[in-house]
């Protein structure tokens, strides 16, 4: 079986196995041009080159033997898996993340890790990575240990006026401990995420592990910032448990197949002593505690159920009502466009950007390299000052 490559009126055969092996292991498989080529068994040379660029594939490989192509794909996958496990870490979700769905983001964040480690000699071995590799006596004891390691307290989280402030505090404490945080920003990442639903990725490193938080609608009808706080805390727990993988979780399932990691997050954000003291049963009580804990009412409901404060039937009823309420919310029309410097700060992360600016100021890299690797050429050298101002 072959795919006809159309070039200047001539049809050049490409082994279909080579064609599919290369594209199926890249983000290019998500583009309509690939599906069209498979259906028609033909592709124009210009379209092949375009898809190859999107998939980060040297197009000369399409003319190589299948054995060589398979070796190249295996080598690429091995390098990617050095930073992240191929298997998704999933809690209560049937969604499965394929490596190709996130591979360009993984490669980009690993590239950023390597550049930072090469030039920043102040980095120390990370104390968070593996902190909870050996489970403690309970989820509560693990939560206490991790919070102490991060310099985070229940009081500090509750004192935040808004959920956004609590999220900023959590990111600040992680990055103060060399756990880098990257957040999804449409058009400022090397890869589209519109075709996949997942929570994020934890990327391995003994000095500067990365947490990538995926944005967008996760389909579980939860307040976005509250959900992000829970997600980020979950991924911090995974780093401490030495689990590095794409992450998916469903925050609106009363029958959630949650394990120890979920309970550690619950203890960090919604301490059992406080929940048992209040003993929430009504939906209004769940909402009040959600505002106090800076999480979603759904998270409080599931936590209360897991602590035995309410039963599964009550939890399901509350979650159904929350889903209906969320669905009735007016749609937000026309988000204000984000400034390029703020987008770079959000995707590359404040800590990485700040450290790499110090590397730039020390003359260890050029402005061109800084703009290429840290800013993905979304900022020009003349705009680096804007990023400095955005970082404060």
Which 3 state secondary structure label does DSSP give 202?
strand
Report yes or no on 333 lying in a domain. Answer: no
Q: Is residue 334 part of a domain?
A: no
Q: Where are the beta strands (DSSP E) in 134-291?
A: 180-183, 200-203, 210-213, 246-249
Contacts 24+ apart (CB under 8 A), 371-378: 373/111, 373/112, 373/115, 374/112, 374/115, 374/344, 374/348, 375/344, 375/348, 376/108, 376/188, 376/189, 376/190, 376/344, 376/347, 378/188, 378/340, 378/343, 378/344
Closest of 210, 230, 233 to residue 220, by C-alpha: 230
Please work out, in degrees rounded to the nearest 5, the angle formed at the alpha carbon of residue 184 by the alpha carbons of 129 and 262.
45
- Would 65 be classed as within a structural domain? yes
Do 93 and 72 fall into the same domain?
Answer: no
Q: Which domain holds residue 163?
A: 89-328
Domain boundary among 81, 116, 143: 81
For residue 333, the 8-state DSSP code is P
pLDDT digits (tens, 9 = 90+) for 34-72: 999 999 999 999 999 999 988 889 989 999 999 999 999
pLDDT at 167: 97
For the chain, what is the domain count? 3
In a domain, 119, yes or no: yes
One domain, residues 376 and 307 = no
Judgement on whether residues 38 and 130 belong to the same structural domain of the protein? no
Same-domain check for residues 192 and 284: yes
Tokens 């505690």 label which residue? 289
**Is residue 112 located within the same domain as residue 131?**
yes
70 shares its domain with 131: no
> 95 with 183, same domain?
yes
Beta bridge partners of residue 213, listed in sequence order? 183, 200
Residues 300 and 381 in one domain: no
Among 81, 116, 147, give the residue marking a domain's end: 81
Q: What is the pLDDT of residues 231-240, one digit of tens each?
A: 999 999 999 9
Whether residue 211 sits in one domain with residue 62: no
How far is residue 125's CA from residue 127's CA, in Å, rounded to a whole number?
6
Same domain, 106 and 138: yes
Same domain, 246 and 178: yes
pLDDT in tens, 137-185: 999 999 999 999 999 999 999 999 999 999 999 999 999 999 999 999 9
| Cα→Cα distances 27→53, 76, 80, 194, 203, Å | 10, 13, 14, 12, 19
Of 53, 81, 109, the last residue of a domain is: 81
Q: Tens digits of per-residue pLDDT, 69-86? A: 999 988 877 777 778 877
Residues of the chain with pLDDT under 50: none
140 and 100 in a single domain? The answer is yes
């Amino acid at each position: 079986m072959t795919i006809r490559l159309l070039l200047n009126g001539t049809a050049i055969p490409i082994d279909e196995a080579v064609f599919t092996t290369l594209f199926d292991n890249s983000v290019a498989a998500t583009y309509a041009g690939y599906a069209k080529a498979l259906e028609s068994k033909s592709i124009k040379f210009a379209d092949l080159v375009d898809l190859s660029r999107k998939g980060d594939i040297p197009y000369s490989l399409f003319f190589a033997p299948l054995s060589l192509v398979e070796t190249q794909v295996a080598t690429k996958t091995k390098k990617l898996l050095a930073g992240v496990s191929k298997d998704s870490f999933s809690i209560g979700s049937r969604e499965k993340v394929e490596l190709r769905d996130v591979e360009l983001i993984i490669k980009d964040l690993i590239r950023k890790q390597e550049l930072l480690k090469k030039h920043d000699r102040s980095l120390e071995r990370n104390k968070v990575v593996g902190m909870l590799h050996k489970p403690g006596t309970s989820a509560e004891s693990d939560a206490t240990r991790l919070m102490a390691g991060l310099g985070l307290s229940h009081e500090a989280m509750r004192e935040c006026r808004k959920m956004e402030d609590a999220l900023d505090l959590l990111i600040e404490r992680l990055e103060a401990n060399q756990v880098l945080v990257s957040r999804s920003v449409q058009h400022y990442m090397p890869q589209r995420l519109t075709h996949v639903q997942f929570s994020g990725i934890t990327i391995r490193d003994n000095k500067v592990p990365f947490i990538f938080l995926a944005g967008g609608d996760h389909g579980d009808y939860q307040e976005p910032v509250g959900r992000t706080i829970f997600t980020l805390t979950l991924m911090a727990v995974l780093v401490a448990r030495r689990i590095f993988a794409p992450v998916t979780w469903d925050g609106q399932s009363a029958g959630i197949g949650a394990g120890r990691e979920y309970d550690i997050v619950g203890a960090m954000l919604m301490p059992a002593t406080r929940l048992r003291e209040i003993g929430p049963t009504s939906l209004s009580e769940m909402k009040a505690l959600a505002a106090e804990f800076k999480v979603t009412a759904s998270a409080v409901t599931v936590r209360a159920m897991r602590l035995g404060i309410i039963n599964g039937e009550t939890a399901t009823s509350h979650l159904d009502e929350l889903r209906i309420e969320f669905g009735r919310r007016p749609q937000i029309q026309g988000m204000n466009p984000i400034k390029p410097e703020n987008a770079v700060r959000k995707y590359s992360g404040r800590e990485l950007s700040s450290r790499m600016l110090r590397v730039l100021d020390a003359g260890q890299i050029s402005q061109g390299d800084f703009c290429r690797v840290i800013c993905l050429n979304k900022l020009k050298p003349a705009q680096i000052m804007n990023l400095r101002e955005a970082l404060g």
